[in-house]
Amino acid sequence: MADSSVEIIEGCRLPVLRKNQENEDEWPLAEILSVKDPPGRKLYYVHYIDFNKRLDEWVTPDRLDLKKLQFPKKEAKTPTKNGLSSVPGSPERDVRKSLDLCVPAASAPSRGKTLPTPKRKAESVCLATQVSAAVTPGPSAEESQASVYPALRDSSFSIQPLAALSTNGTTRRLIPLPPGRKRKTCGGTDEMVKVFQNNDPRCSTIYMPPGEDSQDSSDGIPSAPRMTGSLVSDRSHDDIVTRMKNIECIELGRHRLKPWYFSPYPQELTGLPILYLCEYCLKYLKSLKCLQRHLTKCNLRHPPGNEIYRKGTISFFEIDGRKNKSYSQNLCLLAKCFLDHKTLYYDTDPFLFYVMTEYDSKGFHIVGYFSKEKESTEDYNVACILTLPPYQRRGYGKLLIEFSYELSKVEGKTGTPEKPLSDLGLLSYRSYWTQTILEILMNLEPEDGERPQITINEISEITSVKKEDVISTLQYLNLINYYKGQYILTLSEDIVEGHERAMQKRHLRIDSKCLHFTPKDWSKRGKW
């Protein structure tokens, strides 16, 4: 219980009562971000430390534990040196220290590289995880993931241990080399991956020679995923306003949505109990009466743009951000309510938007979307991707991902999503990559009595998944080991059975025959 004699200010930390996934009381530590005093009693906006921001909420004083109240600490300032603040842990101090220690004076900065991140415990992922689903609010993304499938351990094998390295949530495994051997670079070669069938035909072991390295790495290990992109949010500019949800509720067609994050809707609309959106043109209105009047004039019953895919009740529309600027901006505003790691551009000209809809007698209802740059120098095939909460946990997220790779296949390219991914996006992509790669490996058949062979490059070409993502997925699942001078990858009985169960649940698939898409050369269009 809060004591009225104690003044709680912004920045204070203290335990706050909340319900966990099992509907049990818990008291996690939280930070006070804002205080307001409406008629009645005070309200406090809290951020639960080490929890996802979507769980932030306004709480009443009776949920606060003042016995463990921590006031914000003042930063001890000392005289400045060389014009830089010497506040402990300040960004300027850290940058100068890293430059002094790591960068030679005459060296030129390398483009496209990211700095190594500290090691962290490897996250686990469930093969049967459903895509981009809205999870019941819980402590963290890690706790919502199931344990990784164990690799097959044959007592006759002498398998060296693997050192784990995590980069921004994507766990990689460094493959040890035998003494005296140097790593080989690609050099245009395409090493074969041999598949040895065991007694159990569903359980195979894949021998992977070294040399299948990343095109961005010179030592045979994929470089860290780039954290740059067209819509990657610069978190250094976060302030108290953007850290707080500003929309209470959104009515979109027959659904009412509770936003997870801040979105820059006009300030005069943020105080409304409900923000109304036209589900066809996504225009925002302040009242139900305004929405009803708008619907009598709005002649759209589907997203603007070209319908490039239809199968059953599922359709995809391609929308040019330059030709349909108003719709694209409204779509970005809606998406920002559920995306924390992406920023928002009102200049939508450089982007294409692919909106997935579900058809019924009233029209085409938006389910989700992804955006991509018209021209990407980093081979990104997705900038932002979102399945709206009412349609999550139903397989639509994986369908969006599969569709993005189908477009890449038509374009004759390999693609990868912009990093960093959200926690739900990371689960969805790992699940899709895992199922897609295992589907290929398990369908390999011997040729002329010889063991089947395949390369990492061939897997990448078949799936249009970027080679770095193929390698990192195999390493993340802890399938790659080193044995007798070769890299081996073992598909255990657990992985095979888990994959079969997951594919039985995956009913929604993209049918390439229903795709009517002609890629455009945007580089030439820009010259006219």
Q: Is 418 a catalytic residue?
A: yes
Q: Which residue has the tokens 């995923």?
A: 225
Residue type, 448: D
Helix, strand, coil shares of the chain as percentages rounded to 5? Answer: 25, 25, 55
Residue type, 105: A
3-class SS of residue 216: coil
Tell me phi and psi for residue 311, to 5 degrees. Answer: -145, 120
Residue type, 484: K
3-state secondary structure 399-423: HHHHHHHHHHHHHCCCEEECCCCCH
| DSSP for residue 235 | G
CA dist., res. 327 & res. 325, Å (int): 6
Tell me phi and psi for residue 463, to 5 degrees. Answer: -95, -15
Q: Is the dihedral of CA 333, 337, 343, 349 positive or negative?
A: negative
Angle at 237 between CA 29 and CA 135, to 5 degrees: 50
| DSSP for residue 323 | T
- Catalytic: which of 143, 418, 439, 458? 418
CA dist., res. 110 & res. 113, Å (int): 6
CA dist., res. 67 & res. 216, Å (int): 53
156: left (phi over 0), alpha (psi -120 to 50) or beta: alpha
Residues acting as catalytic residues: 418
